[in-house]
Each structure stands twice: as C-alpha cells, then as structure tokens.
Amino acid sequence: MENRVAIITGSGRGIGKAIAMKLAQENMNIVICDVDETAIAETVKEIEGTGVQAIGIKVDVTNSADVARLFDETIKKFERVDVLVNNAGITRDNLLIRMQESDWDAVIAVNLKGTFNCLKAAAKIMMKQRSGKIVNISSVVGVMGNIGQANYSASKGAVISLTKSAAKELAPRNITVNAIAPGYIETEMTKNLPDNVKEMFLNLVPLKRPGSPEDVANVVSFLVSHQADYITGQVIHVDGGMVM
C-alpha cells in the first residue's frame, strides 16, 4: 500500500473518516475532501499523526468544477490517484407523498451525481495509469428499499448499477470498481433516528448489533488491496446479515 494515493469523499467524519484512517494506517497518502472545513482540518491533523502525507480540500461533490479542482490539486501534490472511495452521502427522509421535490433533488445530486462526477474524473487519470481501485458506498436500502427513503434508496440502487457499468467499461484498463452496501452503522447520520426505527433495524440484523464505521473501512481496505485484484462489479454487504 506504501506511496499509493487515496481520495475519500465525505471523509471529514463518520464512515469516510474511518476509511481514511484505515488506509493511512496502511501507509497510503490521503486526500480528505468534504463540505465541512472544520472537520477537514481536524481529520487531516489526525491522519498526519499516523506518519503519512495528507491534504484537505473543501469540495461539494455535486459541483463538477469543485471535483475538477479536487483531482487537479491531488495530481499537483501526489502525481497520481490509486484509490477513489465515493463515500459522501446525505439523507432527506420523508414518506413518498410528503417528499418535497427539493429533497429528491438534493439526495440524487450528492449520492448519485456526486459519485458520477468523481468516478469520471478518477477514470480519466486511472486509465492513463492503467491501474486503479474505485469503491462506491451504496446501502442495503439500495437493494431492499425502505419506507421514508424513496429518494435515498433510489440513489443507492442507482449507485449499484453505475458501479456495474463502470466496472465493465474500466476493466480493460486494469481498474476495478466495486460497491459496499452497509446496513445499520452507528454514525451522525443514524444518531437521530427515532428509537423505534433503530429497534426495527436491529431486529433485522442476525448479528444483533449495529455496525461500526471501522467494519466498513476494513472491507474497503480489502477491496483496494492487491488481494482483491480479481474482484470487480460486486456489491459487498457489510450489514451483520441483514440482507442475504
């Protein structure tokens, strides 16, 4: 893993930050990108504490000009991009009949268009390098659907089909593209869910506990390693058995 360069979107906190820490512990140089400047600064400091190089860039993944700047600055600093993890994501939950058009648009923009923007920018660089590993963070609800999450589940389902199309297109250049479908993971995103919803999720988990951000980071670490060189276009569930 040494001297490889990884960009992780939405890595100021939560699952993205855990992924950044895990890849840093494996001696990769890290690019932290997020919309939250304070979180970026704190995370970069923590990553530098592990002894690798890190840069932080404020980026809104929905904005293609921001994404172009993210990749330009990464190349300027590190001269290559070996790993992209499309992790930035939001929820705007509501029942279908109450869902505002703006809630639909916002979720599709970050979760789906943001993934497309970064995937496209990374592919251009990785195709020239003739190597690269891309991991898209989807969700179990992208597979099974969920009440109150029509926008979110549609975006995450689309991330899975985007992953498969990209995997087929990029395979000839030795680039793998896989997705992870986390289940119920304890982060800021799920902290404020009503207790009855948390209980409902836990009742669906055979392993009877919520996942941690590190549970997801461990699988990213495997998928971007050379041990996973022959795996592409797959969706790996990290959900305690919720969907099988």
Min CB(241)–ligand NAD separation in Å? 15
Query: What is the DSSP secondary structure assignment for residue 242, as one 8-state letter?
Result: S
Q: Is 7 in the site for ligand NAD (CB under 6 A)?
A: no
Report the C-alpha gap between 219 and 124 in whole angstroms.
Answer: 25
Question: Which residue lies nearer to ligand NAD by CB, 82 or 215?
Answer: 215
Tokens of 41: 């600064």
Q: At what angle do helices 14-25 and 213-223 cross, to 10 degrees?
A: 50
Q: Which amino acid is at 136?
A: N
Cβ-in-10-Å burial (0-12, 13-18, 19+) of 125 comes to middle
Site for ligand NAD in 96-125 (CB under 6 A): 110, 114
In the residue annotation, 152 being an active-site residue is answered as yes
> Could you tell me if 238 and 219 are in contact, meaning their C-beta atoms sit under 8 angstroms apart?
yes
Question: Which residue lies nearer to ligand NAD by CB, 36 or 169?
Answer: 36
* Site map 24..63 versus ligand NAD, x via CB under 6 A: ----------xxx--x-------------------xxxx-
29, 139, 151, 221: residue in contact with ligand NAD (rule CB under 6 A):
139
Report phi then psi at 238, rounded to 5: -120, 80
Q: Is 87 in the site for ligand NAD (CB under 6 A)?
A: yes
Q: Token pair 């029942």 is at which residue? A: 95
Q: Is 190 in the site for ligand NAD (CB under 6 A)?
A: yes
For ligand NAD, the binding residues (CB under 6 A) are: 9-10, 12-16, 34-36, 39, 59-62, 87-90, 110, 114, 137, 139, 182, 184-185, 187-190
